[in-house]
Amino acid sequence: MEQEAVAALVAEQKEMVQLREGILHHFEQILHQDPLIDEVGFLHPTQFQSLEHIQTGNWTSEAPECPWTYLWCKDHKLAISMEILPKLYSAARHAYTNSAAAKDGPLMETDLMRHSKALLILCPDMLTAWNSRKMVLSVNYDFTKLKDELQLCALILSYSPKNESTWSHRRWVIKKVSEHNHDMSEIIERESLLVKEIAEKSKMNYRAWRHRCWLIPYMTREQVLNELKKSTRWNELHVTDNCCFHYRQRLLLASLDICQVKNTEDSLDRRSEVHLLWKEELTWNEMLIRRYQGREV
């Protein structure tokens, strides 16, 4: 009887391992086949029943133990059942640990990037996984892979907008791109839009606005002035959010650097423009103070 019980326990554990590995493989297939996923939701099993259980894409699951009651993807939106989260996390962490301990080689790098991506979506505070990705990306400069990395960070920030590890990794990627690309205008515009969208959903998000402040040295003169104009309306609608006011302070200080132009004919015009900018800022602040009495504008 004891031998039968042990055999049954071993068989059950083996089946559980196969289930975890099957679900992880299924999960990583989704991430690979749809790299444009921009939103992840962790749903209660009862919420999952309201989803339309249809197969999307051209891939299929090789594991019959992985029903669609656990994972769902459509229109670049991914839903994960909370019922399977512990097993999925355990499998992702085990797979990542094995790949990180493997010998160097192209196959190891591919496995490491695949497993670390799955793990970080489930647990974005895993600094070791972020560092592993930095190690792989630092070997050879690949702009396409770095853009994919920004996509991954944006995906995680969509449901964890205050995750410091993700913001820090995003800054590392941008710095890496700036070392090989002097024209950062397009990336700065996208980053500014991302922070604005996140700030709309996550109030008083200091980490997001600090990221936006970090971008200022990469901005051109036109972008600094444009950011001041764009943030004016946002401030008027969010006077209780001090983060944006701090951002404007950094922009105004950056505008002073614009004046420090030597041996140029338009230096006087720039000084006049910045002087007028600061004067308008004081007038605008006075208007807000009178309109919202009691607020620390």
The predicted structure's pLDDT at residue 68: 59
Q: What mean pLDDT comes out for the span 117-132?
A: 96
- Pairing of the two strands 77-81 and 71-74: antiparallel
Q: Is residue 35 part of a domain?
A: yes
The predicted structure's pLDDT at residue 217: 93
Instruction: Tell me what percent of the residues of the chain surpass a pLDDT of 70.
Output: 82
Report residue 221: phi and psi, to 5°.
-60, -45
> Based on the structure, what is the number of domains in the chain?
1
- Supply the range of the domain harboring residue 67: 1-55+62-131
pLDDT digits (tens, 9 = 90+) for 45-59: 888 777 754 444 444
The predicted structure's pLDDT at residue 257: 79
Q: Is residue 92 part of a domain?
A: yes
pTM: 0.85
Q: Is residue 160 part of a domain?
A: no
- Amino acid found at 208: A
On the question of pLDDT at 150 being above 90, the answer is yes
Q: Are 195 and 153 in contact (CB under 8 A)?
A: no
The predicted structure's pLDDT at residue 4: 56
Question: Which residues are 42's β-sheet partners?
Answer: 80
Q: Are 165 and 157 in contact (CB under 8 A)?
A: no
172 pLDDT tier (thresholds 50, 70, 90): very high
Q: What is the overall mean pLDDT for the chain?
A: 84
| Gyration radius (Cα) of the chain, Å | 25
On the question of pLDDT at 60 being above 80, the answer is no
Could you give the CA distance from residue 273 to residue 255 in angstroms, rounded to a whole number?
10
Residue 58 has which token pair? 């051209």
pLDDT digits (tens, 9 = 90+) for 230-274: 999 999 988 888 999 999 999 999 988 766 655 555 667 778 888
Q: Is residue 281 part of a domain?
A: no
Q: Is residue 149 part of a domain?
A: no
